[in-house]
Chain A
Amino acid sequence: MNVNTQFKKGVLELCVLVLIERQDRYGYELAQEVSRHIEVAEGALYPLLRRLVGDGYCTTYLQESSGGPPRKYYRITSEGREYARQMVGEWRSFVAGVARLLEEGEEG
């Protein structure tokens, strides 16, 4: 497994949390939303979602879909909301730090 996929795996958690914070979603929908923005192996979502549920950051419920078996929806918990808030903060300062580092390199 190369560095790039490891890196994306970390970011995937952040993306998923932010997406389900906005609204409840089911697995396939989450995969589509994430793939719209970043290139990632969509299958990695499901082990991750299991872990988020196990950690108490989100819960699941079943909801009927039009003309098919019920879908498993993911809903964020208050702990999940708090965790997402922290992660977004860390991400912002991380990105800003990397940006500063790159700019310094260009100046020097």
Chain B
Amino acid sequence: MNKEQFLLRLNGGLAVLPTETRRELMADYEDHFRSGLEHGKSEEEIAFELGSPEELAQEALELQLQSGERVRRETAESPAFSPRQTYRNEPQPQPEKRAALSVVRLIMLLFWNLIAIPLWAAGWALVAGLAALVLACLASPLLFAADLALNNVWNTAEFYAVLLLLGIGILAAAPFLRLLRALARSMVGYAKWNARFAMGRN
């Protein structure tokens, strides 16, 4: 097999690739031939060392498919084409096994959630309590001002207590918000895990 035959067979195998990708790959192989010839090899030798053009084309398609899937995951766009369908000899994923909603797993989840849901509720109750505490600390100057306006009595001890509470409220606000976000995130994660488990893909 000489250079032209090799490139022709390879190009045929790469037909389903986007034009730009195919052009770049073909240029790589052409450069390889040129370098090989410069090093005193024959076209036949170089083609033999490169391997079967059909197998190389298949490999290139598989790799392109992988990176295509990565792009799809990142952009959540539907693919322009699906070269996977062209592989007959590849083991196909078994959809019935992957997507089946399992009754046994649902029952397992039910019992598991009998414990888990009260725990989540307790977590949220704790956060709600903390929220009330932080808000009360932050609102204490308002209450102090209202007290002053209504009763018209200046209480120095109360004033310092309010300053202290305000400080605590300000310091506690950021960690509290972080805690809130973390709890919300793990709750979403837990819900997703439930769905995955029920579908048999944990």
Residue positions of A touching B, CB distance < 8 A: 1, 5, 9, 26-29, 31-32, 35, 41-44, 46-51, 54-55, 68-69, 71-72
Contacts and interface: CB of A to CB of B under 8 A. Distances in A.
Given A50-B25, A72-B28, A72-B31, A44 B36 contact: no
Interface in B5-46: 21, 24-25, 28-29, 31-32, 34-36, 38-39
B139 to A, nearest CB: 49
Contacts, number: 72
Contacts of A55: 67
B63 A41 contact: no
- A interface secondary structure, majority: helix
B55 A41 contact: yes
Contacts of A9: 59
Contacts of B109: none
Contact of A1 (B21, B25, B32, B55): B55
B55 A51 contact: no
Contact of A31 (B32, B38, B55): B32
Contacts of B55: 1, 5, 41
- B interface secondary structure, majority: helix
Contacts of A35: 49
B67 A51 contact: yes
B7 to A, nearest CB: 11
A41 B32 contact: no
Chain B interface category by residue count: 20 to 34
A26 B60 CA distance: 19
A68 B53 CA distance: 26
Interface of B: 21, 24-25, 28-29, 31-32, 34-36, 38-39, 49-53, 55-56, 58-60, 63-64, 66-67
A54 B50 CA distance: 22
Contact of A27 (B32, B51, B63): B32
A43 B63 contact: no
Nearest to B62: A47
A28 B32 contact: yes
7 contacts: A26-B31, A28-B31, A28-B35, A41-B50, A41-B56, A46-B32, A48-B63
A69 B32 CA distance: 12
A46 B49 contact: no
B161 to A, nearest CB: 54
A68 B34 contact: yes
Contacts of A27: 28, 31-32, 35
B79 to A, nearest CB: 16
Given A27-B28, A41-B56, A51 B51 contact: no
